Amino acid sequence: MTLPPVNLERLQNANESASDRNRKQNIEGFDFLRAIFSVVIVALKTRIFVLGEIFVSATFAYALMAKVAYLAVPVFLQMSLFLFYLKSEKLSFVYFLKKRLPRLILLYVFWVGTYVLFEIVVKGNSAIVKGVTSSTRSMIEFIISGGQSPFFFLFSLIFLTTLAAIVVTAFKKIENESVKHWISYALLFVCALAVFSFSLIPFTVTQLGGNSETGITHSISSIVFWDYNPFCFLPYLFTSLIVIQDFNSGKLEQFSSSFKVKLCTILALFIGFTIIEFHTLEKLLHYSRISLLLGSWLLLYLALLSPLKASPIVKFIASCSLGIYAFHVLLTGLTLPIIGNNEFFKNIFETVPGSDIVLEFVVVLTGSIALSFILKKIKWLKTFV
């Protein structure tokens, strides 16, 4: 009995379809990260982690904020860069300049513009305009920081995605995948070392008896202790690049012993840097912390490895993650002034410690989700959420 002839083209298409299905199933793990950390961001902004200080200790509350809440922005950057690398394999740099970059800039202009108008019209904060126009430096700082707001994330995303497009273009000229992989690790090490070393300068000067408030050290300190410094995110270019290289080479599917060692090494480094930062660099602000780089890198791997299927509610919250991130900036701080003078709520707030924080968290989260859902129904606004 002879076997029927094999249709190689059909077999290839079937394999490609299976591969695409596996990728979609793997990337579904991102829904969990989007849903969890969009809620975490609202919790951070509405001071929900202060409850840890009220009911446990200040140390516990600090640990939650430093090692859980501030993972949110790094995780979103890691996912965004991963997906960009995944899509850019078949796209040119010209496509990035014509399509992707303008969309990111439009997203930034829309939300920062909305934030400024909201501050002026609703909160009466006209000083925000004076701050922008006072000097060239103030204008540059305003643009980078998104108006000294959480919208700095959008500028950092534009900055990193542009660099990622340049990296992709350069790497396309290198045919050897192993060489690409080692270059990625080398650049990751250099960038991480630079961020870590740069952050240590003010502390080192102080320990040596110097004055960290004068000369060049003062300038370095002002950058190190600036929340919105986008250069702190440079190592993320290469952690996400390494993940996409592992993803494309099938290492996540094979899950070999060497890959397990890699994950355990990242975990050990995360714990090690967490201890160092917790005990000796507690003044170091959020995104200068190497532990956040390592933690978000590990979570990116775990999301891709996760076999779990996201429930409809998780998928829904994940689909609203950008809207939640944006609207929480506008809604936070509005709830308590409105109801704070009401006798009923005032009695509850005085009787139950932290109830005002919980109420604001619930209102801001549900309001952000509701507004995101509404904007998704409006054709010309749905691209912004």
Residue 181 confidence (pLDDT) above 90: yes
Q: So what's the pLDDT on residue 343?
A: 77
Q: What's the pLDDT tens digit per position in 94-132?
A: 888 888 999 999 999 999 999 999 988 888 887 777 767
Residue 9 confidence (pLDDT) above 60: no
Q: So what's the pLDDT on residue 18?
A: 39
Calculate mean pLDDT across residues 224-238. Answer: 86
Calculate mean pLDDT across residues 174-199. Answer: 91
More confident site: 203 or 19:
203
Calculate mean pLDDT across residues 190-207. Answer: 76
Q: So what's the pLDDT on residue 92?
A: 80
| CA-based radius of gyration for the chain | 23
Calculate mean pLDDT across residues 300-328. Answer: 93
**Nearest-CA neighbor of 322 among 361, 276, 368?**
368
Residue 302 is encoded by which pair of tokens?
Answer: 């775990």
**Could you tell me the pLDDT band of residue 21, with boundaries at 50, 70 and 90?**
very low
**Could you tell me the pTM of the whole model?**
0.86
More confident site: 124 or 205:
124
Q: So what's the pLDDT on residue 220?
A: 58
More confident site: 58 or 271:
271
Q: So what's the pLDDT on residue 319?
A: 93
Calculate mean pLDDT across residues 176-190. Answer: 94
Q: So what's the pLDDT on residue 58?
A: 76
Residue 87 confidence (pLDDT) above 60: yes
More confident site: 381 or 226:
381
Q: So what's the pLDDT on residue 17?
A: 41
Rank 6-10, 54-58, 353-357 by mean pLDDT and report only the highest.
353-357
Q: So what's the pLDDT on residue 302?
A: 94
Residue 3 confidence (pLDDT) above 50: no
Contacts 24+ apart (CB under 8 A), 274-279: 274/67, 277/66, 278/63, 278/66
Calculate mean pLDDT across residues 141-164. Answer: 92
Calculate mean pLDDT across residues 279-289. Answer: 70
Q: What's the pLDDT tens digit per position in 370-383?
A: 999 999 998 888 88
**Nearest-CA neighbor of 79 among 155, 11, 28?**
28
